[in-house]
């Protein structure tokens, strides 16, 4: 309900005079004319008056007054009020545009008349929804900002600023699919933007999407690069470094992950992170204890603990694959059942995990399914699919036996030659030639 003072002031507007100046005065004296209980209704009434045909205001005056009205609304710093009044003004603008398009002779408002003012209102609504942590509604408000209208010039910086906010809002509710849609739009124009803050937000959004999509190696690299940026505060640099470490640990075990872990281990700041113990053990292929894994899991985001298609978490899979690499450093061969005990899996699952890592080139070895034994080869895996299996496997133990026998025969011959040089008579008398 409108306050009596506002109602009286607006009735005087209808009586005649300079309507624009009168409305300016109302907006300037809003705090004295209105009350906290009626402020929302009062602002809506003023908006109706500004856009009313009876006010006989020109388009330029209407634009100026709407901008003043939006500034007055924002100055009140009440998100719920911003939403109520902002949506009302947009509705009135839309109705005016519809009337104009239908040929109503009493109005001259068109859809492109108040583009700048519409943008301000959409941004006001987005700010309000973000303050209320309604990130979906904030993203929708921003997505309705006209960025491709021929009636309004939009710079690449302005376009990127809007899309970055949309991406960040969708990421807040883990809607990575929609966020990636807008990120792909950003990729087409970000190269035209030199603003370091916008570029930083773009890179951070890209890293977060890669993280959410479980592209952990790419996300780790992106987070680490951001952690080295001088444009980021010290606390944020350490936070992004910690995210880089977490993503590297969650990445599939193999040579690529080892390189990522090595790069992070060399960063002097990493030693101060709670995740450093896991980082060090992973880098040096040491077996991980369950207690260490549980402690590390406490610092992970929900999407990093989500179940995968096989019913396990990303962390559980990463730990199993890491411990399998650790086992390959300790044993030359191991049975399915014994490996399962070490990895905390059943024998069949241990065999499947090993076979997959060998096939993907992340572990060098072979599997004897008849004797149910896994043989580990020496050397580092290449990381290329199909390269984990040695070229020649059949008769390996026989070749090793032959090499040992040959070595022993050569040593016996060396001893015999030495005796013949030092004690020829003894050799002549005792050497038996078969």
Q: Are 27 and 66 in contact (CB under 8 A)?
A: no
Q: Take residue 278 and report the two structure tokens written for it.
A: 């896991």
Q: Are 249 and 282 in contact (CB under 8 A)?
A: yes
Cα–Cα separations (whole angstroms), residue 83 to 27, 122, 292:
19, 10, 48
Cα–Cα separations (whole angstroms), residue 353 to 325, 358, 401:
11, 9, 30
Residue 107 counted as domain residue = yes
Instruction: Describe the strand order of the beta sheet including 365-368 as a list of residue ranges.
Output: 333-335, 373-376, 365-368
pLDDT of amino acid 398: 64
Closest CA to 125 of 147, 430, 117, 427: 117
Residue 24 counted as domain residue = yes
Residue 312 counted as domain residue = no
Domain range for 34: 1-154
Domain boundary among 113, 137, 154: 154
Query: What total number of domains does the chain contain?
Result: 2
Residue 391 counted as domain residue = no
Q: Are 286 and 253 in contact (CB under 8 A)?
A: no
User: Rounded to an integer, what distance in angstroms lies between the CA atom of residue 183 and that of residue 205?
Assistant: 8
pLDDT of amino acid 414: 87
Closest CA to 171 of 220, 122, 135, 141: 135
Q: Are 143 and 165 in contact (CB under 8 A)?
A: no
pLDDT of amino acid 386: 56
List, as one string, the DSSP characters of 360-379. Answer: TTSS-EEEETTTTEEEEPSS
Domain boundary among 98, 119, 154: 154
Residue 309 counted as domain residue = no
Strand partners, 368: 373
Q: Take residue 173 and report the two structure tokens written for it.
A: 């509710």
CB atoms within 10 A of CB 28: 12
φ/ψ of residue 314, rounded to 5:
-60, -40
Residue 297 counted as domain residue = no
User: Rounded to an integer, what distance in angstroms lies between the CA atom of residue 291 and that of residue 28?
Assistant: 64
List, as one string, the DSSP characters of 245-277. Answer: HHHHHHSPSSHHHHHHHHHHHTSGGGGGSTTHH
Cα atoms in the 13 Å half-sphere on the side-chain side of 51: 26
Cα–Cα separations (whole angstroms), residue 334 to 15, 28, 204, 346, 347:
97, 83, 44, 14, 11
338: Cα separation from own chain's centroid: 38
CB atoms within 10 A of CB 235: 8
Query: 3-class DSSP state for residue 307?
Result: strand
User: Rounded to an integer, what distance in angstroms lies between the CA atom of residue 86 and that of residue 93?
Assistant: 11
List, as one string, the DSSP characters of 58-127. Answer: -HHHHHHHHHHHHHHHHHT--HHHHHHHHHHHHHHHHHHHHHHHTT-TT----TTTTHHHHHHHHHHHHH
pLDDT of amino acid 211: 93
Residue 203 counted as domain residue = no
Q: Which residues contact 84 (CB under 8 A, 6 or more apart)?
A: 40, 44
Strand partners, 335: 373
pLDDT of amino acid 305: 84
Digits of tens for pLDDT over the chain (434 positions)?
Answer: 788 888 888 887 765 558 888 888 888 888 888 888 899 998 999 899 888 877 678 888 889 999 999 999 999 889 999 999 999 999 988 887 665 555 554 444 444 678 888 999 999 999 999 999 999 999 999 999 988 777 778 899 999 999 999 999 999 998 999 999 999 999 999 999 989 999 999 999 999 999 999 899 999 999 999 999 988 889 999 999 999 999 999 998 888 888 999 999 999 999 999 999 999 988 888 888 888 888 888 888 888 888 877 778 888 888 888 888 888 888 888 898 888 888 888 888 888 888 888 888 888 888 888 888 888 876 566 556 655 554 434 455 566 677 888 888 888 888 888 888 888 888 777 766 54
DSSP state letter for 195: -
Q: Take residue 323 and report the two structure tokens written for it.
A: 């411990």
Residue 94 counted as domain residue = yes
* Helix, strand, coil content of the chain in percent (nearest 5): 65, 5, 30
Total-model pTM = 0.73
Domain boundary among 104, 131, 154: 154
pLDDT of amino acid 306: 80
H or E element at residue 333: strand 333-335
């Amino acid at each position: 309900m409108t306050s009596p003072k506002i109602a009286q002031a607006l009735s005087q507007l209808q009586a005649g005079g300079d309507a624009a100046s009168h409305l300016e005065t109302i907006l300037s004296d809003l705090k004295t004319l209105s009350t906290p209980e009626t402020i929302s209704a009062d602002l809506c009434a003023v908006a109706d008056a500004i856009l009313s045909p009876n006010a006989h205001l020109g388009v330029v005056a209407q634009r100026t007054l709407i901008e003043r009205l939006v500034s007055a609304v924002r100055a009140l710093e009440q998100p719920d009020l911003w939403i109520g009044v902002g949506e009302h003004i947009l509705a009135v603008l839309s109705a005016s545009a519809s009337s104009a398009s239908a040929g109503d002779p009493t109005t001259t408002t068109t859809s492109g008349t108040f583009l700048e003012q519409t943008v301000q209102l959409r941004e006001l609504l987005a700010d309000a929804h973000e303050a209320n942590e309604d990130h979906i509604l904030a993203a929708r408000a921003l997505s309705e900002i006209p960025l491709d209208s021929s009636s309004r010039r939009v710079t690449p910086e302005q376009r990127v600023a809007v899309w970055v906010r949309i991406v960040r809002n969708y990421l807040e509710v883990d809607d990575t699919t929609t966020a990636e849609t807008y990120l792909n739009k950003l990729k087409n124009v970000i190269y035209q933007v030199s603003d370091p803050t916008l570029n930083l937000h773009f890179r951070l959004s890209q890293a977060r999407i890669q993280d959410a999509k479980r592209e952990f190696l790419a996300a780790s690299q992106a987070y680490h690069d951001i952690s080295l940026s001088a444009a980021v505060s010290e606390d944020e640099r350490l936070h992004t470094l910690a995210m880089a470490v977490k993503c590297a640990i969650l990445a599939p075990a193999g040579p690529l992950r080892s390189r990522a872990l090595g790069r992070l281990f060399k960063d002097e700041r990493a030693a101060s992170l709670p995740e450093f113990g896991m980082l060090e053990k992973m880098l040096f292929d040491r077996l991980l204890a369950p207690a260490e894994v549980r402690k590390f899991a406490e610092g992970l985001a929900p999407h990093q603990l989500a179940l995968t298609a096989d019913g396990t978490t990303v962390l559980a899979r990463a730990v199993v694959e890491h411990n399998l690499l650790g086992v390959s450093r300790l044993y030359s061969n191991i049975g399915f059942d014994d490996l399962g005990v070490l990895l905390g899996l059943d024998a069949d699952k241990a065999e499947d995990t090993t076979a997959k890592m060998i096939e993907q080139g992340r572990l060098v070895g072979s599997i004897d399914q008849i004797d149910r034994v896994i043989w580990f080869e020496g050397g580092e895996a290449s990381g290329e699919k199909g390269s984990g299996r040695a070229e020649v496997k059949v008769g390996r133990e026989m070749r090793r036996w032959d090499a040992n026998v040959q070595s022993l025969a050569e040593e016996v011959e060396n001893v015999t030659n030495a005796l013949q040089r030092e004690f020829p008579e003894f050799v002549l008398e005792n050497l038996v030639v078969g």
